[in-house]
Amino acid sequence: MTIFLAVVVGVLLYVLYSRVIVPDRADRWVHRHFVASDYGLAPREQLDSRRPGPPPPAHRIQERQAVADAAWKGNWRAAEAYVRAAGDDWDERWARTELLQEVAREDDAWLDAWRAAEPGNCDAATLHARIMVQEAWRIRGSGFAHEVSPDRMNRFRALLPAAIEEAERAALLDPANPGPWVVMVTAARGAQYGRARFRPLWDGLVARAPHHYEGHWQALQYWCAKWFGSDRLMMRFAGKTVRKAPKGSPLTGMYLHALEELTGRPAAALSSTPLMRGRLKRIAASFAEVDPDDERLPVLRHLLAYHMLRSRMYGPALEQFRLIGPWCGAEPWRKDGAPMRTFDTARGTAVKLSRTPATPTVGSHGMGR
């Protein structure tokens, strides 16, 4: 028993030292001695908490604004052409309907005109179903079920099945288009679909787009503990997604979203393991092959750096901070209301605990344009 207690005490002391004492010493060093540019990082005075990454290229911003302006003037054909131009790039097609969803929040008369003029258009019908789901959640709000009034809950529960029916009709208009199936997968958890009803929707989606990013994110939400799954089922889904993600896709980032779902749970739920560290390394390698202009990438790099740091992968975390550059307006750093300070402390900690030597350089850093 004495030996057993000695081992337990030794383990506890090691955990205390590695998770409390060492990071505390690193924090003090960061605030007193850390000079970011000495380690290939953007200087503190360049940090920008307004965005997680650089803004889109000017031509992309202009294109989106032109589509929005045309729609608000009643020209739905510009919106239709904008979506159609994505072709069979289903992630891009979904992103474009997401923009149109935001345009419709300001004024949706153009969408009504589009649907009236082209009742057989799958994209128009899918967009309408997406808006129905969005409206259902707006009515319900983000509170717990007991905090929602009976009237709002009844309207929520009536609108979601109607949105699913609209998506089912949209699916018949273009059987190859996964968009309607993403809507159904999204609405399923709010509509209280059990696993037997959910799985055919998921199967229908992946049969059309096996690596659809938004579809996987919505399925991850379904499989998390707060809906119809558990921590184990969610992590299994995320791990399978990492294994099956194709080269050049940011889909491995689903594992990072799953880790975020566990954040705030008991420490054991997020304990670093060889399996977790191996997956984080694999995710970093996959991100190196993603198009640098992919607008999902900056947010994912922040999550990767954050969870590498939590897993005591200090050197790999530092490399992600170098790639991130000066942008620090991402969720991991916003939690205490001081993103620039939190971000700077995190990257300084990665420097200190990785024992990286200072190599002062002059130049630009990271993803800035």
What confidence score (pLDDT) does residue 144 get?
Answer: 76
**238, 120 in Cβ contact below 8 A?**
no
Residues linked to residue 180 through DSSP beta bridges, in sequence order: none
Question: Does position 368 have pLDDT exceeding 50, yes or no?
Answer: no
One-letter identity of residue 51:
R
Render pLDDT for 169-184 as a digit per residue (tens, 0 to 9).
999 999 999 999 999 9
Question: Does position 251 have pLDDT exceeding 90, yes or no?
Answer: yes
* Residues with Cβ within 8 Å of residue 34, at least 6 apart in sequence: 344, 348, 351, 352
Single pTM value for the model: 0.88
What confidence score (pLDDT) does residue 255 get?
Answer: 98
Selection from 296, 357, 284 nearest residue 321 by Cα: 284
Selection from 73, 135, 68 nearest residue 102 by Cα: 68
CA 59 to chain centre: 24
Alpha-helical runs (H) found in the chain: 2-16, 22-33, 58-72, 76-84, 90-106, 109-117, 122-140, 150-173, 179-190, 195-208, 213-223, 231-244, 254-262, 274-287, 297-310, 314-324, 331-334, 339-354
What confidence score (pLDDT) does residue 146 get?
Answer: 79
What confidence score (pLDDT) does residue 14 get?
Answer: 40
Q: Which of 10-19, 65-74, 127-136 has the lowest mean pLDDT?
A: 10-19
Question: Does position 4 have pLDDT exceeding 80, yes or no?
Answer: no
What confidence score (pLDDT) does residue 128 get?
Answer: 98
Question: Does position 8 have pLDDT exceeding 50, yes or no?
Answer: no
User: What is the spatial distance between Cα 225 and Cα 204, in angstroms, rounded to a whole number?
Assistant: 23
Looking up tokens 């997968």, which residue turns up?
185
Q: Where are the beta strands (DSSP E) in the chain?
A: none
